[in-house]
Structure 1
Amino acid sequence: MCDDLTDADNRGIQNGMSRRDFAAGATIAGLALMLPVPANALAVKGRDVSITTPDGVCDAYFVAPAKGKHAAVLVWPDIYGLRPAFRQMAERLAMSGYAVLTVNPFYRTIKAPDLQAAGDRDVVRGQAGEARKLLTPKAAARDAVAFVAFIDKQPEVNKKRGIGTTGYCMGGPLVMQTAAAVPSRVRAGASFHGGGLATDPMLALIPSMKASFLIAIAENDDARAPTDKDKLRVAFDAAKRPAEIEVYAGAMHGWCPPDSQVYNQVQADRAWERLLALFKKLLA
């Protein structure tokens, strides 16, 4: 499940469009997005927020149903960061009844609007890659604790219910690190085309968790590392932690965000349905 290599594989694959045509039609920040609206969607309200952490001030987006208190979800974006696609994904989740915090994981060196201002995907990826170097396992754990503490202070959040966390691409390991850093609050975790989940440091975190997991794997990630899913199953079983681990046929690395070059709506919707099923079961 290597995000860098399989991302390179995906270049030139954009649902029948050439990479040049895709770039000409939209930038990383400006692609028109059309996500399905959930049935019985709730009215939601969102706001930009700033979160003080031991390492600085993180810019983030918080959105929740307009009325009531709800279970919360912490979202870790992919390498392209907090952007319109992830804001819409957060709003869609909020319409389904959750209070959602989506963070800028690169806040230590660059704010989300400044990263997206570069426009070109390769430039954004390069800047994010440099910023990502500061997101060490210890830094990720500090962030997780700070973000969960922020979530629990929001009036829209029901602290009696567990927290869920999701991650995409590089966000996959951050989900596991979050579940291990705050096991008393995190009850459900989901990784979509996450990279590096089956490394020894990641597997060693599983016994510290109290969360159940959904791990959705891209077909080309699995082709590059076909034993990773088996290592994960063994580790979760040994820790007696429930985990739904599946390779999504025909889905390429990065298939879930709607601004992705390889967005696969059918498989993205299926992954979304499995996520909602996990949250319905664990965050009640």
Structure 2
Amino acid sequence: MCDDDIHPGLVHDLRLSRRTFGLAAAALGGVAATAAGAQSPVVEKDVEIRTADGVADAALYYPEGKAKWPAVLIWPDVLSLRPAFRDMGRRLAAAGYVVLVPNLYYRVKKAPVIDGTFDFSKPDDREKLTPMRATVTPEGTDRDAAAYVAFLDAQAQTNKARKVGVQGYCMGGPLSFRTAAAAPDRIAAVASFHGGGLFTDQPTSPHLLIAKTHADYLICVADNDDKQDPTVKDKLKAAFAEAKRPAKIEVYEGAAHGWTVKGSQVYNEPAAEKAWAELLALYKKALA
């Protein structure tokens, strides 16, 4: 479901417009408007995190001031840490969170891992990602997740009395499931946006981890991903029900794979803002 062939085409980075906050209010009846009204100046830092496999480069964001806030880990999509996801981290921090956005491929290359534009319709461009993607394994992700959650908890700005959230995009969706299982006592909210491979027939399928977690879930599915395999959402619903984990699973009609990432050719602003508002509502409820 996260196959490169159905991923958005030309990808380039753009900055978030200020009017996106207003669109969120229309998407969910004012849920995001409340959050936008509480926007705060943000501190941002490039950081390095020692993991079991090396040193990961990442971006850290948190609101200015002496207060403490709940923490969130953002797993980016297949193109990894770049300006679009830095903007996302900055925006979430402004809503009152300590946010970490790591480079998926730190084992082989520092971010940004792709220079210039990237066209998923071109085999040569897709091939650039193959060796990097091979370094992101289930076992390595589990180790990374534990290190990233521990790093967030070690920050003076993090309110450790509150739970931690994790969200992922495309291949980051499965990584978010794994994070919830790797740190079940800390992760209380999981969000996946156009996540691929959430339910497979492999022994490493993310859905098999749900019962090990203590999180609420938000699964936002791309319309074209759903059309490719309409059974996945129902299988996921059954898996959540069996594990007795609360989950909201929604297909975003007319929104193509990659629709939430600013700068992608398929970016859908109204649908992206609806998903963002749903995310904020999840965190407001679950990160207590």
Alignment TM-score, normalising by the size of structure 1: 0.89
CA offsets, 1:192-227, max 9 Å, x none?
000000114222111101111000000000000100
How far apart are the structure 2 equivalents of 1:125 and 1:160? 43
Q: In the alignment, is residue 105 of structure 1 matched against residue 95 of structure 2?
A: no
How far apart are the structure 1 equivalents of 2:86 and 2:156? 20
- Do the aligned partners of 1:184 and 1:210 also contact (CA within 8 Å) in 2? yes
Deviation at 1:260, TM superposition (A): 1.1
**Counterpart in the other structure of 2:169:** 168
- Do the aligned partners of 1:191 and 1:215 also contact (CA within 8 Å) in 2? yes
How far apart are the structure 2 equivalents of 1:188 and 1:3? 26
* Letter of the 1:264 counterpart: N
How far apart are the structure 2 equivalents of 1:156 and 1:119? 35
Deviation at 1:255, TM superposition (A): 0.2
- Do the aligned partners of 1:2 and 1:225 also contact (CA within 8 Å) in 2? no
Deviation at 1:118, TM superposition (A): 4.9
Would the alpha carbon gap of residues 165 and 283 (structure 1) be closer, same or farther in structure 2, given more than 3 Å must change? same
How far apart are the structure 2 equivalents of 1:234 and 1:104? 33
1:126-275 alignment to 2 at 5 Å? 126-200=127-201, 201-275=205-279
Q: In the alignment, is residue 72 of structure 1 matched against residue 80 of structure 2?
A: no
Deviation at 1:259, TM superposition (A): 1.0
Deviation at 1:70, TM superposition (A): 0.4
Deviation at 1:138, TM superposition (A): 0.5
Aligned residue for 1:116, secondary structure, equals coil
How far apart are the structure 1 equivalents of 2:119 and 2:93? 28
Would the alpha carbon gap of residues 69 and 203 (structure 1) be closer, same or farther in structure 2, given more than 3 Å must change? same
Deviation at 1:121, TM superposition (A): 4.0
Deviation at 1:126, TM superposition (A): 3.3
**Counterpart in the other structure of 2:85:** 86
Deviation at 1:243, TM superposition (A): 0.4
Would the alpha carbon gap of residues 48 and 121 (structure 1) be closer, same or farther in structure 2, given more than 3 Å must change? farther
* Letter of the 2:278 counterpart: R
Deviation at 1:250, TM superposition (A): 0.6
Deviation at 1:73, TM superposition (A): 0.3
Deviation at 1:116, TM superposition (A): 3.1
CA offsets, 1:51-106, max 9 Å, x none?
01011111000000112110000000001110111111111101110110001011
- Do the aligned partners of 2:75 and 2:168 also contact (CA within 8 Å) in 1? yes
- Do the aligned partners of 2:2 and 2:171 also contact (CA within 8 Å) in 1? no
Aligned residue for 1:223, secondary structure, equals helix
Displaced runs of 4 or more, over 3 A: 30-33, 118-126
Identity of aligned residues (%): 50
How far apart are the structure 2 equivalents of 1:252 and 1:61? 27
How far apart are the structure 1 equivalents of 2:72 and 2:199? 23
Aligned residue for 2:37, secondary structure, equals coil
How far apart are the structure 2 equivalents of 1:256 and 1:161? 27
* Letter of the 2:17 counterpart: M
How far apart are the structure 2 equivalents of 1:128 and 1:60? 19
Would the alpha carbon gap of residues 203 and 32 (structure 1) be closer, same or farther in structure 2, given more than 3 Å must change? closer
Deviation at 1:261, TM superposition (A): 1.0
How far apart are the structure 2 equivalents of 1:276 and 1:241? 19
How far apart are the structure 1 equivalents of 2:5 and 2:198? 15
Deviation at 1:139, TM superposition (A): 0.6
For structure 2, the residue ranges without an aligned partner over 5 or more in a row are 22-35
How far apart are the structure 1 equivalents of 2:198 and 2:55? 27
Aligned residues: 266
Deviation at 1:125, TM superposition (A): 4.5
CA offsets, 1:235-264, max 9 Å, x none?
000000000001001100000011111000
